[in-house]
Amino acid sequence: MEAGRPAPVARFALTLSDYGKTWSRPRTLANTPGFQSAYPTATQTADGVLIAIWFQILPDKARELRIARFNREWLLGASNDRGAKKD
């Protein structure tokens, strides 16, 4: 990266769909300085908590595995932005 230039930002957004018929408004799970977000996956626990996991390459070329926990209400915009918790 060139000196004086800000690091790129990797934005990781998520939407909800009913098999492609309709789509929710995108919600940003992460807005991280970095070059790439990759290999995203999501699951739902037995108690309804949604968990997203993805691989993040940071500006210093370090690599991290990121995890976010949130609920359906947050994803659909029914609650404030504190519904997503990043680990």
Question: In this predicted model, what pLDDT tens digit does every residue of 14-37 receive, in sequence order?
Answer: 777 788 888 888 888 777 776 777
Quick one: what percent of the chain has pLDDT higher than 70? 74
pTM: 0.67
Strands 36-44, 27-33: pairing kind:
unpaired
Q: Where are the domains of the chain?
A: 9-86
Which is higher by pLDDT, 48 or 82?
48
- How many whole angstroms separate alpha carbon 33 and alpha carbon 12? 11
